[in-house]
């Protein structure tokens, strides 16, 4: 089938490449000319494992096309997926201006039936607004449908999440659009949830908010464990084996970041307020998440006493491993606070350094973890990259001015670290 995707960011690009992998003919459109030029040359504008080889392969097979023109995309395919960004506004609610502009441009270019599918994370009732907009600018008065098809891909495992999802959710208003979407996804073996558009839109916000809630719950547990002399890893392991609770997303740490959880929890609170319900639990989820960064900073302050002129090494800057994404990364707040207190920061991340340099200034970016550790008064672990789990810890210990490790992601065992001579602090144990 022919499919167009508007917005070649993390979501649109991965979705487009995976559709091409499934055998569809895909046109990816973005208004960022440099991004499109890069993609045409077979280069991925983002670091995502396995993505670039699939881009080159699909270009070669002529399954993947790129453009900066929405009219061209509308001409190319009957199904048009919208995956432009929906950034948070000052009050936390989603800015839908890109979705609105793109909807209008699609409508103006439609010369026959089109299915417009929203992939971006949007507040409930956006489908209705998109349909109204398209109706308003539908010059040729052609037939059209609007549908919702939220994505659940995680950065770092985006391709697998797209090709082997736990479920595919489609929100539709009639059988015609459901049939097209089922055909598009036919090659994927997965549970299919077909529902109304409003429910599909809420499924996305509810899923991300619930996962954020699990993380904040574990982070609260971590405090209880520290106060009570228990180990949060043991506690969440014991809880997670209960299938009703589930093992995933119970890792305590420095809190969630990224382009989705902080934005989506805030947006869901905003939607609820607007609808007339005070979603108190989610407000606490946010508070606990922000407190987690502060309590980590306090741990550093308590351990190092005076921060002025201390050298603090940081391993990991990205908001999670296997990505170069720095959006809402906890490392930003943590480093800025320590810097403001006079600490000298040396940092290393396997992939996010380029992006980090645009955001975190006046620190020393190092080429490897050992350079970070050299003469450092403490080493902080802020992202759980596999590379850090395999470090030569004896070498690190010898190189440091004082062998203190404060691990925000619990990647090491306390007993092993202490046996090696480190002062080792982690979260909730
Ligand atoms: C974004 C949202 O953050 C997420 O909530 C939603 O589910 C999908 O879209 P992401 O793909 O990570 O996720 O965003 P981003 O990487 O910023 O990509 C959006 C792309 O759309 C950018 O490449 C941007 O240039 C493009 N865009 C934006 C357009 O082509 N036209 C526009 O009018 C606006
Ligand atoms: C998330 C959702 O998982 C995905 O379904 C949605 O489509 C987009 O948003 P993403 O933000 O890419 O994906 O990464 P995710 O793996 O969910 O991690 C988000 C944040 O939560 C990271 O900062 C991570 O470090 C943190 N996290 C995750 C924890 O602190 N503990 C955990 O147990 C899991």
307 within domain boundaries: no
Asked if 386 and 350 touch (Cβ cutoff 8 Å), the reply is: no
pLDDT tens profile 135-193: 999 989 999 999 999 999 999 999 999 999 999 999 999 999 999 999 999 999 999 99
118 and 218 part of one domain: no
pLDDT for 203 equals 98
**Which tokens hold the place of 10?**
């993390």
Global pTM value: 0.94
If you measure from the C-alpha of residue 78 to the centroid of ligand 2, how many angstroms do you get, rounded to a whole number? 33
178 within domain boundaries: yes
178 and 239 part of one domain: no
Strands of 114-118's sheet, edge to edge?
64-67, 25-29, 2-6, 79-82, 114-118, 144-148, 167-171, 191-195
Q: Mutate which of 47, 237, 261 to test ligand 2's pocket (most atoms within 8 Å of Cβ)?
A: 261
> H or E stretch including 407?
strand 404-407
380 within domain boundaries: no
85 within domain boundaries: yes
Is the minimum distance from the CB of 205 to ligand 1 under 6 angstroms?
no
Structurally, the chain folds into a number of domains equal to 2
Place of tokens 């190189």: 399
Q: What is the CATH number of the domain that holds 174?
A: 3.40.50.720
103 and 168 part of one domain: yes
Rounded Cα gap, residues 163 and 142, in angstroms: 33
Q: Which residue has the CA at smallest separation from atom 33 of ligand 2?
A: 249
252 and 149 part of one domain: no
pLDDT tens profile 94-113: 999 999 999 999 999 999 99
323 within domain boundaries: no
Q: Mutate which of 8, 11, 47, 155 to test ligand 1's pocket (most atoms within 8 Å of Cβ)?
A: 11
pLDDT for 92 equals 85
Rounded Cα gap, residues 318 and 184, in angstroms: 33
277 and 248 part of one domain: yes
Task: Tell me which residue range forms the domain holding 172.
Answer: 2-195
Alpha carbon 134 to its chain centroid, in Å, reads 29
pLDDT for 230 equals 98
Q: Which residue has the CA at smallest separation from atom 27 of ligand 2?
A: 256
**SS3 sequence, 355-394?**
HHHHHCCCCEECCCHHHHHCCCCEEEECCCCHHHHCCCHH
59 and 133 part of one domain: yes
Rounded Cα gap, residues 42 and 198, in angstroms: 37
pLDDT for 309 equals 94
> Of 195, 226, 254, which residue sits at a domain end?
195
What is the mean pLDDT, run by run of 10 residues, along the chain of 429 residues? 97 98 98 97 94 97 98 98 94 94 98 97 96 96 98 94 97 98 97 98 98 98 98 98 97 96 95 97 98 97 96 98 95 98 98 97 98 98 98 97 98 96 98
Q: What is the CATH number of the domain that holds 229?
A: 1.10.1040.10
Catalytic residues: 260
Alpha carbon 178 to its chain centroid, in Å, reads 28
172 and 252 part of one domain: no
108 and 189 part of one domain: yes
109 within domain boundaries: yes
90 and 210 part of one domain: no
HSE toward the beta carbon, residue 419, CA cutoff 13 A: 5
Place of tokens 């407190």: 291
Rounded Cα gap, residues 364 and 386, in angstroms: 22
Asked if 17 and 93 touch (Cβ cutoff 8 Å), the reply is: no
Q: Mutate which of 151, 211, 322 to test ligand 2's pocket (most atoms within 8 Å of Cβ)?
A: 211
Q: Which residue has the CA at smallest separation from atom 25 of ligand 2?
A: 320
If you measure from the C-alpha of residue 256 to the centroid of ligand 2, how many angstroms do you get, rounded to a whole number? 7
40 and 127 part of one domain: yes
Burial 212-221 (b: 16+ CB within 10 A, else e): bbbbbbbbbb
115 and 138 part of one domain: yes
* 157 CA: nearest ligand 2 atom: 12
């Amino acid at each position: 089938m022919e499919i167009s995707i508007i917005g070649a960011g993390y979501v649109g690009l991965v979705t487009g490449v995976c559709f091409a992998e499934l055998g569809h003919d895909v046109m990816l459109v973005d208004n960022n000319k440099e991004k499109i030029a890069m993609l045409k040359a077979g280069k991925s504008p983002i670091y995502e494992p396995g993505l670039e080889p699939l881009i080159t392969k699909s270009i070669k097979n002529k399954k993947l096309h790129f453009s900066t023109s929405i009219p061209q995309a509308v001409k190319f395919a009957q199904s048009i997926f919208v995956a432009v960004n929906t950034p948070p506004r000052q009050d936390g609610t989603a800015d839908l201006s890109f979705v609105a502009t793109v909807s209008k441009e699609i409508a103006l270019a439609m010369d026959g039936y089109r299915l417009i599918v929203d992939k971006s994370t949007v507040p409930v009732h956006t489908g209705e607004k998109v349909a109204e907009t398209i109706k308003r600018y539908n010059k040729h008065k052609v037939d059209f449908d609007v549908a919702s098809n939220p994505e659940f891909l995680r950065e770092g495992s985006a391709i697998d999440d797209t090709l082997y999802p736990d479920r595919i959710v489609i929100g539709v208003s009639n059988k015609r659009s459901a049939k097209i979407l089922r055909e598009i996804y036919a090659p994927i073996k997965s549970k299919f949830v077909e529902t109304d558009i409003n429910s599909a839109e809420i499924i996305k916000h509810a899923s991300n908010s619930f996962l954020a809630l699990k993380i904040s719950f574990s982070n609260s547990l971590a405090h209880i464990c520290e106060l009570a002399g228990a180990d949060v890893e043991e506690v969440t392991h014991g809880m997670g084996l209960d299938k009703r609770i589930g093992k995933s997303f119970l890792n305590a740490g420095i809190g969630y970041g990224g382009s989705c959880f902080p934005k989506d929890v805030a947006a869901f609170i905003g939607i609820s307020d607007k609808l007339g319900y005070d979603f108190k639990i989610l407000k606490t989820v946010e508070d606990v998440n922000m407190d987690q960064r502060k309590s980590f900073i306090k741990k550093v302050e308590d351990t190092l006493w005076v921060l002025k002129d201390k050298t603090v090494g940081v391993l990991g800057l990205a908001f999670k491993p296997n990505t170069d994404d720095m959006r809402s990364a906890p490392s930003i707040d943590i480093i800025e606070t320590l810097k403001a207190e006079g600490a000298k920061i040396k940092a290393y991340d396997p992939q996010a350094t380029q992006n980090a340099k645009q955001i975190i200034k006046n620190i020393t970016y190092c080429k490897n973890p050992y350079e970070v550790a050299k003469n450092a008064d403490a080493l902080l672990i802020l992202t759980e990259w596999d590379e850090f789990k395999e470090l030569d810890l004896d070498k690190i210990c010898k190189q440091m001015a004082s062998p203190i490790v404060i691990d925000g992601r619990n990647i090491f065992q306390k007993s092993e670290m202490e046996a090696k001579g480190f002062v080792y602090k982690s979260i909730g144990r």
